């Protein structure tokens, strides 16, 4: 059965109040829809851990710094609800825009430090949009646990820090990236790739894995990153925005993987910006 769709905060609150009164643990999976196996794996994780599961779908205009990107973002609500049917989700919260940003809304949540690097400079205002909407979704759902994919690793750290700094009582749980058989990280943006674009995009994970393996052996990052960049361009990527090796907790830049690290690659193929990352564990 497809889960019920709620569009108003009062309806959501009526449901969650009852759950909380019964002492039930509530999990939330925030999404922007266009659900794929990655999102469904988050719903599955929430289902396994919690008594109640809410999936939210809201294409948040405040996190898009490019209006074209917002206009192109896929909107597939009916299919999304059908996809969630087998996952035992209790409710899908698809707030009307005024439930998130009522007239006169004038608050922005800024997380500094973690947002100064990688996606931050390339997407001005993005993380403020994310932190603001996620803070609202946490407070509106009053969930006990929230599930985010590690594909958006920087977002996961930003959201965790935001919840901690604002004393929002929620546990932010990171779940592994789900990949296509080709290794391509699942993303709603993959829907925008042509067949040729998909072939190019699929080559990124192999290049990233090879680089991660060399880094795990303790080799210096800078020359290897240059080599990987050339390989990406050879594979058909039109632009490589960044290849970074960073500390897995603080996102501090590392010259080599001397402690648990994360390798991040963001590049454009077929007019689509594709982000990905993997852990690098020194051997």
Examine the residue annotation and report whether 20 is marked as an active-site residue of this protein.
no
190 binds ligand PAF (CB under 6 A): no
Whole-number Å distance between alpha carbons of 205 and 28 = 29
Whole-number Å distance between alpha carbons of 189 and 229 = 22
CB of 35 to ligand PAF, least distance (A): 10
- 214 versus 276: smaller Cβ distance to ligand PAF: 276
276 binds ligand PAF (CB under 6 A): no
Burial class (CB in 10 A: 0-12, 13-18, 19+), 126: buried
Strands (DSSP E) contained in the chain are: 5-6, 26-31, 52-57, 91-93, 145-149, 171-175, 239-247, 261-269, 272-280
Q: 């990949």: which residue's tokens?
A: 179
Piece in contact with ligand PAF (CB under 6 A), picked from 24-32, 161-169, 170-178, 250-258? 24-32
Q: Cα 280 to chain center, whole Å?
A: 19
Give the one residue of 9, 32, 81, 186 binding ligand PAF; rule: CB under 6 A.
Answer: 32
Contact 146, 171 (CB under 8 A): yes
120 binds ligand PAF (CB under 6 A): no
Contact 69, 129 (CB under 8 A): no
CB of 91 to ligand PAF, least distance (A): 16
CB of 148 to ligand PAF, least distance (A): 7
Give the one residue of 3, 15, 19, 30 binding ligand PAF; rule: CB under 6 A.
Answer: 30
Piece in contact with ligand PAF (CB under 6 A), picked from 9-17, 104-112, 130-138, 221-229? 130-138
DSSP string, 127-171: HHHHHHHHHHHHHHHT-SEEEEEGGGHHHHHHHHHHHHHTT---E
130 binds ligand PAF (CB under 6 A): yes
128 binds ligand PAF (CB under 6 A): no
CB of 190 to ligand PAF, least distance (A): 14
Give the one residue of 31, 132, 205, 277 binding ligand PAF; rule: CB under 6 A.
Answer: 31
Give 160-179 as a 3 state SS string. Answer: HHHHHHCCCCCEEEEECCCE
Binding site for ligand PAF (CB under 6 A): 30-32, 60, 63, 130, 133-134, 152, 155
Q: Catalytic positions, please?
A: 39
């Amino acid at each position: 059965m497809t889960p019920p769709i709620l569009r108003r905060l009062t309806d959501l609150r009526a449901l969650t109040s009852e759950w909380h009164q019964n002492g039930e643990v509530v999990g939330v999976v925030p999404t922007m829809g266009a659900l794929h196996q990655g999102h469904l794996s988050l719903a599955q994780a929430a289902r396994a851990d919690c008594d109640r599961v809410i999936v939210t779908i809201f294409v948040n205009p405040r996190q898009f710094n490019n209006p074209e990107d917002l206009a192109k973002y896929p909107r597939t609500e009916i299919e999304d609800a059908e996809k969630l049917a087998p996952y035992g989700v209790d409710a899908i919260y698809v707030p009307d825009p005024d439930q998130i940003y009522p007239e006169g809304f004038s608050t922005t949540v800024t997380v500094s430090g973690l947002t100064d690097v990688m996606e931050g400079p390339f997407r001005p205002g993005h993380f403020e949009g994310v932190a603001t909407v996620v803070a609202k979704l946490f407070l509106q759902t009053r969930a006990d646990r929230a599930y985010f994919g590690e594909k958006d690793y920087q977002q996961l750290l930003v959201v965790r820090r935001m919840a901690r700094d604002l004393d929002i009582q929620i546990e932010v749980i990171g779940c592994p990236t789900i990949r296509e058989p080709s290794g391509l990280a699942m993303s709603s943006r993959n829907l925008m790739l042509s067949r040729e674009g998909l072939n190019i995009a699929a080559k990124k994970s192999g290049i990233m894995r090879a680089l991660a393996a060399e880094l795990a052996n303790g080799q210096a990052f800078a020359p290897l990153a240059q080599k990987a960049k050339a390989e990406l361009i050879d594979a058909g990527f039109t632009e490589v925005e960044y290849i970074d090796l960073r500390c897995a907790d603080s996102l501090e830049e590392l010259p080599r993987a001397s402690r648990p690290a994360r390798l991040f690659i963001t590049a454009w193929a077929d007019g689509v910006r594709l982000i990905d990352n993997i852990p690098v564990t020194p051997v």
